[in-house]
């Protein structure tokens, strides 16, 4: 069976990357003059074509859910920064560092990788590794009085939406 690629797919092999490149150029230049817009569009066409062999096609995802999760994570990062600042600037006797494992509901590599990244980018927690054999993520928390509550929050706030975003089922590794 012959695989035909449309003109639009040839010009925009990675539309999201094109958009990010163009917007980044405009934001870095702090200008929306005609020349800068032209340069942004040109770079948005050229750069994704140059990196096309190195980028795997984006899987089909639920974009509305992804955008909602983005704002949940952004909000959590802001709140966590405030909480960690208070903890670090306060008495160290109030810190209760803990290690705990977050069991994974899927072995979908995108879901688990993004979950580990979200945990790490949220101040106060760091992912130490994904254990594929055990099916969990090892997490270190700067201060935790209830690891079970944190595990529940990670699973409900991040893992469940990620599974929905990627249409991943339990045990799915696509």
Residue 173 has pLDDT above 60, yes or no: no
* Whether the Cβ atoms of residue 157 and residue 108 lie closer than 8 Å to each other: no
pLDDT band at 2 (very low <50, low <70, confident <90, very high): low
Cut 0.75: pTM above it:
no
Q: Report the share of the chain in percent with pLDDT over 70.
A: 94
Structure tokens at 140: 């270190």
pLDDT for residue 58: 63
Structure tokens at 158: 């991040």
Residue 77 has pLDDT above 60, yes or no: yes
pLDDT for residue 1: 47
pLDDT for residue 114: 94
Structure tokens at 66: 């992804």
* Whether the Cβ atoms of residue 153 and residue 89 lie closer than 8 Å to each other: no
Please state the φ and ψ torsions of residue 108, each to the nearest 5 degrees.
Answer: -65, 120
pLDDT band at 141 (very low <50, low <70, confident <90, very high): very high
Residue 8 has pLDDT above 80, yes or no: no
pLDDT for residue 132: 86
CA 76/CA 35 separation, integer angstroms: 38
Cα dist from 53 to 13, 60, 123, whole Å: 10, 19, 34
- pLDDT averaged over every residue in the chain: 89
* Whether the Cβ atoms of residue 154 and residue 119 lie closer than 8 Å to each other: yes
């Amino acid at each position: 069976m012959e695989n035909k690629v449309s003109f639009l797919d040839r010009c925009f092999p990675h539309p999201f990357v094109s958009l990010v490149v163009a917007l980044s150029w405009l934001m870095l230049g702090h200008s929306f003059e005609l020349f800068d817009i032209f340069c942004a569009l040109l770079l948005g066409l050229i750069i994704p074509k140059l990196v096309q062999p190195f980028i795997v096609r984006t899987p089909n995802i639920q974009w509305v859910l992804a955008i909602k999760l983005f704002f949940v994570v952004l909000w959590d990062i802001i709140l966590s920064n405030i909480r960690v600042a208070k903890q670090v600037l306060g008495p160290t006797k109030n810190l209760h560092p803990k290690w705990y494992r977050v069991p994974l509901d899927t072995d979908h590599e995108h879901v688990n990788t993004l979950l580990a990244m979200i945990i790490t980018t949220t101040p106060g927690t760091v992912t130490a590794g994904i254990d594929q054999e055990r099916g969990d993520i090892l997490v270190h928390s700067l201060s935790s009085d209830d690891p079970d509550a944190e595990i529940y929050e990670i699973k409900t706030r991040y893992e469940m939406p990620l599974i929905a975003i990627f249409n991943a089922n339990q045990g799915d590794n696509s």
